[in-house]
Structure 1
Amino acid sequence: MEEVNFGKKRTPSYFLQKSEDLIAVRSQAGKDLASTLSCELANEALIDSQLVMHVADADVQVFKIPPTSNLRKRKTLLRSLPGVRFAGSVLVDPLTQEAVLYTENLFLKFIDQLTSTQCKAILKELGLTIKQQAPYATNAFFVNHKDYRGTDVCSLSLRLLEREDVDYCHPEMLRQGQRRTIHANQWHLKKTTVTYQVHIDASANVEAAHELSQGEGVVVAVIDDAFDIDHPEFTGPGKIVGARNFDRRNAALGPRPKNAFERHGTAAAGVACANGQVGASGVAPRASLMPLKLTKPLGARAEADAFFWAADNGADIISCSWGPAEGHWADPTDPRHTQKFPLAASTRLAIEYAATKGRNGKGCVIFFGAGNGNESVDNDGYSSHPMVVAVGACNDQNRRSAYSDFGKALWCCFPSGDQPHPDPKFKPATSIPQTRGIRTTDLSGKFANVNSGAYTEFFSGTSSACPGAAGVAALVLGVNSALDRQAVRQILADCCDKIGSADDGPLGQYDLNGHSYYYGHGRLNALRAVRLALERLETHG
């Protein structure tokens, strides 16, 4: 195992090692990998193997082979296939053994003092071809070298990092991500009595806020797997704006789902800004939706492109209900709980671009779900970024949802579902009652659920809490669009209700700054947030 530090400034180290039982296979340009691997020779190379990862957009598949197999021989067989561009080793995180793919592209940023002409001259001298100039950072490029493939790309990165004129350089590293998963039953929006006459008073006080704001004129960008933009709750003039699909193989579909499994984004978008005309209201029903489809693994070039697109195409708010894979929330011995997940330099720079350059310099307000691992959000490079609002989940009992991540970076929480403990051998400190999920939009049309139609009652996790908080920010900007990103962030802290229980222990207590590791600044109160925004408008004009 070697420590590989791809960066000179703030980039954390990657600890990676070669796997002894994983093979990555990539198709030739224009070739379909599934067809290539259907031949007899491919069957011999992959006998008794298991497909563990598929990056559809790049047409890369990762297979796990039996431990007694000859890895070298299998790679040689695969490389002999005419439709295979690459068959080689896979790097893994030694803590979790999760695959970390690398493409032949490098993200390279020169120091700011160089001119664009100087940068391009250096790239030409080094034999590097520009794939894309990154528009969200100075002197930043995605490049490749025709003579470097496989792990040689990592060696090339390290050599380039030794140059005094290079700020960042790392391969495009791809890791599997994880989704953070005013109808009568929308208990998260108002005090209500739901089906079976159960009285619930644990909302974010959204219905009352709607008397003052419904998010008019605000654009909420949701980056997620896919969006049913034909859903009745997303219809009307100006409702869908700036839609984009960052998966080039399915670009013609736009942001729409290609199958029934791509339903996460539709639910998240519904929590933020569904119209509320038929079966479910979003927190900001009159806000516009910018649906940005992104199904690539974490760290891909398209991830940074999505943030840049949102900022440059009019998004006021960006909501992301996804992040690194996490430990099992109910198993304290899961080693993934302590895993630190760094941001790719390209993604970090794109987030910072959106947070500082978006909204004509006032900055996009960026939200991430804190995570569902019942672990420290501070280890997650996405949610813990200082320009991001990390959102935790609280339940219909005014308590932290058992799975919700916690820590210094947690900013606030928003109502979401919870779940009873699934395994009696894991004993939580207190009993966890049965609680409800969130009612929101689900796929309509040919992918509709036969039982519940175009809606679901079971959306949950910080996947739901994140767009809920984003919706509150839309209500705030709906009455005071002059607020910059930091002012909105502070309002979200100041508006919170201090929920919790004495038996939460020390992590649930609020410090002198009004912050708790379990709840951040507390549960968002949408009415109070809108009133604070109006007060700022009266004070500052």
Structure 2
Amino acid sequence: MARQYYQRGNLVEAEELDDVVAVRIDEDAAAGLTDTREQLGASARGEIRDAGVDDETTEAFERARWVFVKPSRQTREAFAAGEEVSGAQANGKVIRRPSGRIGIATDVLSVQLQPTLSQKEAEHELESAGLEVINRLTFADNLYEVRARTAQDALAASVELHDNDRFVFAEPSFVEHVPTRFSPTDPRFTEQWQWHNSGGHGGTPGADVHVEPAWDRTFGDGMRVAVIDNGFDTTHEDLADGVSPLSGFYSDGVVGTTFTQETVGMPDSDHGTFCAGMAGARLGNGKGGVGAAPESELMLVACLPDQVGTQVTLARAVSYTADPSRELPEGDPANGADILVSSLGPNDAEWELQSVLERALEFAATRGREGKGLPIFWAASNGRNVDILKDEIVSHPDVIAVVRSDNRDLEDNAARGPEVELIAPGVDVFSTRSGGGYGTATGTSFAAPCAAGCAALALSVNPGLTRDELREIMHRTADKIGGPGVVYDAQGHNDDYGFGRVNAAKAVARADGTP
């Protein structure tokens, strides 16, 4: 059932789960939780799971003595009449909010009345509105926790009170699961300043992509991130579990370049392995560090294995990631990548775009993701003050050009110009290396998969976004860094910093539509 309420002045559209009620069990009855729940009705755990609520959340509610039931007719009638039910301390409706998180809505709200009212006047208004004071909150004027005595529930009261000009706000007090903030247990996570910069080694606290709050919402599950490079260590302990079966490689033969959908025999490259780790090194496996989107699927495509080849091969790789049927007769266009990143290209030199690669970029950008468009991230040239327009690939309109920042949120020796779109950590960052190892490295090559992995997080919470919509989100949520001397134009762009340093938390929130 569709429901509405107000939050921070915004009308929120939400969903009440039909035929499900949340019940707070009396402490005395908690020992016999199963029996008490059965007396109230049938378990609604399946319905809660179908609504997208994980078992960890459900179990957390149960530890707090909240259970989800499909109430019996007798229980439902008793709750509707406001009668006491044996073993039940409180009850509420289960509301799925726009973020996908559930909350239990009882009759409790938080409200604030106009600060010009005296306390006596404010409490008279509360009584007139059918609100019973539970607590007067003293950290702001005329702020109260109240119970709606006459409204259907807190959501209905929120809507009813919105047009009462004596109230500043009236918002439901949802009972919700608020777990501890996630921090990876991977042993070398602390070396990855790109994810959490505490200010060590001369860095600036917070000069990172703010990915930890984003991980509270998503790890990128369901996203397929394609990385095009010279080769990869696909058996690396921190990558192997995430490597897609669609991974493959190009090789030169007697009859030309062929594509093999396989990881056995794939060329190895320290560069590609490092890039793959930045995007999606695995999570919580007790090994190494972690990537930006550690539960994404890594579609690793090796081409130009000796760094010599044609743009035709590169174009084929780009088109394959967008639509596997371009190389595999049995390939399904629906199995293409959600995000593409490549860090191939010359440094401090012109790179001319040939028509064949241009067509591939246009194909991927327009027909990838079954017409929603494939976002293409590409590392810009390393080298101070290099004109980005000299590189016709990275400056192509369908490519998102990424440059690198250091641990002080300053740009570091990379191309500049109007086509720079984003900046991300790329100086002494920590990731996977070929041969099963780990280490640090510097380059725009590693800033690009960092940005791409963060974009995968944003897309994972709203897979329906088009390429252009995701691109706009990444622009608008980027942090304007560089210090007081750095000026961004009216469009929010700077030639060295693009639209700013990637902020994963803001990108995920904006993609998710979270108020």
TM-score, normalised with respect to structure 2: 0.57
Q: How does 1:106-255 map to 2 (within 5 A)?
A: 183-192=189-198, 200-236=205-241, 239-249=243-253, 254-255=262-263
CA distance in 1, matches of 2:499, 2:260: 43
- Establish whether residue 282 from structure 1 lines up as the match of residue 305 from structure 2: no
| Among 357, 366, 372, the residue aligned to 2:376 | 366
Question: How much has 1:463 moved relative to structure 2?
Answer: 0.3
CA distance in 2, matches of 1:521, 1:284: 22
1:358–1:321 Cα change, 3 Å: same
| Among 439, 446, 455, the residue aligned to 2:430 | 439
* Alignment partner, residue 429 of structure 1: none
SS of corresponding position for 1:221: strand
Please say if residues 232 and 302 of structure 2, whose CA atoms lie closer than 8 Å, have aligned partners that are also in contact.
yes
One-letter code of the match for 1:530?
A: V
One-letter code of the match for 2:198?
A: T
One-letter code of the match for 2:227?
A: V
CA distance in 2, matches of 1:370, 1:307: 17
* Alignment partner, residue 487 of structure 1: 469
One-letter code of the match for 1:463?
A: S
Please say if residues 477 and 502 of structure 2, whose CA atoms lie closer than 8 Å, have aligned partners that are also in contact.
yes
* Alignment partner, residue 118 of structure 2: none
SS of corresponding position for 1:232: coil
Please say if residues 250 and 260 of structure 2, whose CA atoms lie closer than 8 Å, have aligned partners that are also in contact.
no
- Between Structure 1 and Structure 2, how many residues are aligned? 308
Give the unaligned 5+ runs of structure 2. Answer: 1-187, 325-335
* Alignment partner, residue 535 of structure 1: 513
1:251–1:357 Cα change, 3 Å: closer
1:299-335 CA-to-partner distances (Å, cap 9, x unmatched) read 4321111011101131111101111x233xxxxxxxx
Moved more, 288-297 or 464-473: 288-297
Give the unaligned 5+ runs of structure 1. Answer: 1-181, 328-335, 418-436, 449-453
CA distance in 1, matches of 2:248, 2:382: 27
Question: How much has 1:477 moved relative to structure 2?
Answer: 1.1
CA distance in 2, matches of 1:522, 1:251: 37
One-letter code of the match for 2:503?
A: N
Please say if residues 280 and 440 of structure 1, whose CA atoms lie closer than 8 Å, have aligned partners that are also in contact.
yes
CA distance in 1, matches of 2:396, 2:408: 30
Compute the RMSD of aligned alpha carbons: 2.3
- Establish whether residue 344 from structure 1 lines up as the match of residue 354 from structure 2: yes
Question: How much has 1:291 moved relative to structure 2?
Answer: 0.5
Question: How much has 1:473 moved relative to structure 2?
Answer: 1.0
| Among 505, 516, 525, the residue aligned to 2:494 | 516
| Among 370, 392, 397, the residue aligned to 1:381 | 392
CA distance in 2, matches of 1:391, 1:412: 5
1:242-282 CA-to-partner distances (Å, cap 9, x unmatched) read 1111123597794568777x211000000001113211100
Question: How much has 1:197 moved relative to structure 2?
Answer: 9.6
Please say if residues 234 and 240 of structure 1, whose CA atoms lie closer than 8 Å, have aligned partners that are also in contact.
no
* Alignment partner, residue 268 of structure 1: 275
SS of corresponding position for 1:306: helix
* Alignment partner, residue 454 of structure 2: 472
Please say if residues 227 and 257 of structure 1, whose CA atoms lie closer than 8 Å, have aligned partners that are also in contact.
no
Q: How does 1:443-454 map to 2 (within 5 A)?
A: 443-444=434-435, 448=436, 454=437
One-letter code of the match for 1:321?
A: S
SS of corresponding position for 2:315: helix
Please say if residues 211 and 505 of structure 2, whose CA atoms lie closer than 8 Å, have aligned partners that are also in contact.
yes
CA distance in 2, matches of 1:252, 1:490: 35
SS of corresponding position for 1:305: helix
Please say if residues 424 and 447 of structure 2, whose CA atoms lie closer than 8 Å, have aligned partners that are also in contact.
yes
CA distance in 2, matches of 1:404, 1:377: 9
Please say if residues 206 and 527 of structure 1, whose CA atoms lie closer than 8 Å, have aligned partners that are also in contact.
yes
CA distance in 2, matches of 1:254, 1:373: 35
CA distance in 2, matches of 1:368, 1:197: 28
CA distance in 2, matches of 1:343, 1:233: 35
Please say if residues 288 and 438 of structure 2, whose CA atoms lie closer than 8 Å, have aligned partners that are also in contact.
yes
1:193–1:350 Cα change, 3 Å: same
1:439-474 CA-to-partner distances (Å, cap 9, x unmatched) read 101113xxx5xxxxx111x22211000000110110
Percent of aligned positions that are identical? 33
CA distance in 2, matches of 1:373, 1:256: 36
1:252–1:496 Cα change, 3 Å: closer
- Establish whether residue 354 from structure 1 lines up as the match of residue 364 from structure 2: yes
1:377-400 CA-to-partner distances (Å, cap 9, x unmatched) read 122111101011000111111111
Please say if residues 248 and 266 of structure 2, whose CA atoms lie closer than 8 Å, have aligned partners that are also in contact.
no
Question: How much has 1:297 moved relative to structure 2?
Answer: 3.3
One-letter code of the match for 2:192?
A: Q
One-letter code of the match for 1:493?
A: H
The structure with the larger Rg is 2
* Alignment partner, residue 297 of structure 1: 308
1:248–1:498 Cα change, 3 Å: same
CA distance in 2, matches of 1:252, 1:364: 22
Please say if residues 257 and 263 of structure 1, whose CA atoms lie closer than 8 Å, have aligned partners that are also in contact.
no
Please say if residues 390 and 411 of structure 1, whose CA atoms lie closer than 8 Å, have aligned partners that are also in contact.
yes
* Alignment partner, residue 321 of structure 1: 343
CA distance in 2, matches of 1:415, 1:307: 25
CA distance in 2, matches of 1:378, 1:483: 28
Question: How much has 1:208 moved relative to structure 2?
Answer: 1.6
CA distance in 2, matches of 1:245, 1:516: 37
One-letter code of the match for 2:431?
A: T
SS of corresponding position for 1:248: strand
1:443–1:410 Cα change, 3 Å: same
CA distance in 1, matches of 2:260, 2:466: 36
| Among 480, 488, 498, the residue aligned to 1:498 | 480
1:482-541 CA-to-partner distances (Å, cap 9, x unmatched) read 0000000000001111001344xxxx42001100001000001100000000118x9xxx
